[in-house]
Every structure is written in C-alpha cells, then in structure tokens.
Amino acid sequence: MSDINGMRKDIDHKMSRAVEVLHEEFGGLRTGRAATSLLDPVQVTAYGAAMPLNQVGSVSVPEPRMLAVQVWDKVNVKAVEKAIIDSGLGLNPAVDGTMVRIPIPALTEERRQELVKIAGKYAEDAKIAVRNVRRNALDDLKKAEKDGDIPQDALRGFSDEVQALTDQYTNAIDEAFSHKEQEIMQV
C-alpha cells in the first residue's frame, strides 16, 4: 500500500466510519423522547430467523412519549412484543390487534447516569477504533519505508497527517459525547 493518496482516503474513511458507528449507537440510547431509532437494535425471531424489527413492521412516533409498531403479519405480533421486552431497553409494550404501542417512561436520575456511562463507553470504543486505524496506518508506513517504497521525510510528513486526522476524529467523538450527555441529562 505504497500509494499515499489511497492510504490517506482509506484512513479517513475508516476513522469517519468509527464516528458514524458511534452516532448509530447513540441513536439507540433513550433520552426520554420517542425516536424510531430507539428500536433499531431490536431483533425479532420471525419465520425461523432473527431479523431487525423494521423488517416485520413499520415503526412510528404518534406522540412525543410513544412509539408504535404496526406489525405487517398478525402471526408476528407476540414475537415483536417479546423482542421489545427482552431487548433490555426497559420498555413495556402493549398489544392492540396488530399494533404494538410502546410508552416511553420518564427517565429517573439514576437511569440517566447509567445512560451517560453507556454513552461514555461507546465514545471510548470509537476512540479505540480511531487509534487502531492510526496504529495500523503507521505500521504500514514503517513497512513501506523499510521496503524502500517511500523516503524517510515522506514517512515523517505522512505520520504527522495521520496524527492530525486522529486528533480531528477524537475531537469529533468528544464533541458527540458531550452533546449526547447534555441530551440525556436534560429533564
């Protein structure tokens, strides 16, 4: 991988993907308001296979503190209810025909603190992913320099670029965590 521009794009893509994954994980954290992304991690066992909830029904937000799942096949209603209960999100669905209504309870202060800790863990995992990309890139660069593919000056310059990208994405992660923490703690 002696193509520096290709490496630069690859590093940038991998680091930005780590931040995207962080935002997806943050979307699954409850903040006391209903959001369809809250149910994204829920897997329903239907037709003999585990599948995302949005593949067995449509998720909507009819009220600020209520989610609704319109299950397409009546056979899957109990499976959807069980999957939501077993998801660990602390939600208690109510079945009404093929509609599953999920009230979003207000968060207690203790639960808010737990969610902030979980968000912090997600942020730290994203930082670790970014640092792993940096480490792998620097290893590739050192190998390319050792093989004689790039001069030592280019190695130093590109190493500085990799560190700057790492700092940029680490700051973006910190900013996203700070925003999510404020969102969770907002009463």
CATH number of the domain enclosing 93: 3.30.1360.40
Residue type present at position 33: R
Q: Does residue 136 register a pLDDT over 70?
A: yes
Give the residue carrying structure tokens 């699954």: 28
33-85 pLDDT, tens digit each: 677 777 888 888 888 888 988 888 898 888 888 889 998 988 888 998 998 88
The residues, ordered by sequence, that sit 6+ positions from 21 with a Cβ below 8 Å of its Cβ are 126, 129
CA–CA separation, 61 vs 25, rounded Å? 19
Whether residues 115 and 181 share a domain: the answer is yes
Residue 61's φ and ψ, nearest 5 degrees, are -120, 90
- Whole-number pLDDT of residue 187: 62
- In contact, 71 and 82? CB cutoff 8 Å: no
Residues 132 and 170 in one domain: yes
Are 117 and 178 in the same domain? yes
Q: 46 — phi, psi (to 5°)? A: -135, 140
The mean pLDDT of 158-178, rounded to a whole number, is: 92
How far is 55 from 74, CA to CA, in rounded Å? 14
Name which residue leads in pLDDT, 30 or 15: 15
* Residue 169, pLDDT score: 94
CATH number at residue 129: 1.10.132.20
Q: Are both 113 and 181 inside the same structural domain?
A: yes
Our count of domains for the chain comes to 2
Q: Where are the alpha helices (DSSP H) in the chain?
A: 4-27, 77-86, 109-146, 152-185
Kindly state whether residues 181 and 168 are assigned to the same domain: yes
Provide mean pLDDT across the span 11-15. 91
Do 114 and 177 belong to one domain? Answer: yes
Q: Which of 103, 119, 140 is the last residue of a domain?
A: 103
Range of the domain at 83: 36-103
3-state secondary structure of 147: coil
2 has a pLDDT exceeding 50: no
Regarding whether 55 and 12 lie in a shared domain, the answer is no
The pLDDT value recorded for residue 1 is 41
Is the same domain home to 166 and 179? yes
Amino acid letter at 128?
I
Residues 149 and 171 in one domain: yes
